[in-house]
Chains A and B, each alone.
Chain A
Amino acid sequence: DAGVIQSPRHEVTEMGQEVTLRCKPISGHDYLFWYRQTMMRGLELLIYFNNNVPIDDSGMPEDRFSAKMPNASFSTLKIQPSEPRDSAVYFCASSLLAGGPHTQYFGPGTRLTVL
């Protein structure tokens, strides 16, 4: 298995532009998680899905952030409009089940820089 795939690996954009981050979870995993990592705040859970349905989006910082999962093999995290404070590394993770001892497997991340 190729593991969790994220694209792009790096994104540089200007303030006000729309940014779309993409994630392909491990095949067969029913749960997908989006995290953000910064030096100041560490690793933050933004939103997670179960069987393509958003379960908890309480970590999404603002209405500028939105996430979708149109099918079991693809998810997007969109920021519109982007701001410099959105600069961070965004990780996608998936797991077979959630709760209990089930392990989350992380993608390589997308490093976002908003100028």
Chain B
Amino acid sequence: AQSVAQPEDQVNVAEGNPLTVKCTYSVSGNPYLFWYVQYPNRGLQFLLKYITGDNLVKGSYGFEAEFNKSQTSFHLKKPSALVSDSALYFCAVRGVSGRDDKIIFGKGTRLHILP
């Protein structure tokens, strides 16, 4: 069965510092991996996704994520955090093989950027 784990409920980072939000996954075969962001009182917004190829994926708002197959991880990163990056971040996975149409979401990590 597919699963995704976000081990941190909350991450605090000082503005201007690099940030990392962690995600690990479990699927049969190869994965498709996604990051979404949710701002207060808003729906989830797509940030980026990994399909195949380059392990470093670049997305919206200066975010990037690194796919690591051996560690089954897909951590979200940004070189310099902004206060406006404060939000709830979701990692999601779908297996390449099989006919499963569903995306499995993690529980979310709240990112708090300190001014």
Is B107 located at the chain interface by the 8 A CB criterion? yes
Return the CB mask of B73-111 against A: 1 if under 8 Å, else 0.
Answer: 000000000000000001000101001111101111000
The listed residue with most B CB atoms (<10 A of its CB), out of A50, A55, A103, A105, is A103
Partner of B90, one of A43, A93, A100: A43
Asked whether B90 lies within 8 Å of A48 as measured between CB atoms, the reply is no
> How far apart are B102's CB and chain A's nearest CB, in angstroms?
6
B114 at interface, CB cutoff 8 A: no
Given known A-B contacts A99-B94, A99-B100, A101-B51, A106 and B105 have beta carbons under 8 A apart? no
B44 touches A100 (CB 8 A): no
Interface size, chain B (Cβ < 8 Å): 23
B70 nearest CB across to chain A (Å): 22
- Secondary structure at the B interface, as helix, strand, loop or mixed, is loop
A99 touches B101 (CB 8 A): yes
Q: Provide the bound-state CA to CA distance between A107 and B51, in Å.
A: 24
**Number of residues from A at the complex interface, CB < 8 A:** 23
Q: Which residue of A lies closest to B90 (CB)?
A: A43
B46 engages A105 (CB within 8 Å): yes
| B96 → A minimal CB distance (Å) | 7
Tell me the bound Cα distance from A106 to B47 in angstroms. Answer: 12
A108 and B42 form a contact (CB under 8 A): yes
Asked if B22 lies at the interface with its beta carbon under 8 angstroms from chain A, I say: no
Question: Across the two chains, which residue of chain A brings its CB closest to B44?
Answer: A106
Q: How far is the CB of B63 from chain A (nearest CB, A)?
A: 15
- Give the residue name and chain of the B residue nearest to A9 (CB): B41
Least CB distance, A19 to chain B, in whole angstroms? 19
Of A45, A55, A104, most buried by chain B (CB within 10 Å of CB) is: A104
On A, residues with C-beta under 8 Å from B are 4, 31, 42-43, 45, 48, 50, 55-56, 91, 93, 98-101, 103-109, 111
B interface, CB within 8 angstroms of A: 32, 34, 36, 41-46, 49, 51, 90, 94, 96, 99-103, 105-108
The 5 A-B pairs with the shortest beta carbon distances in the complex, nearest first, are: A98-B101, A106-B43, A106-B44, A42-B107, A101-B51
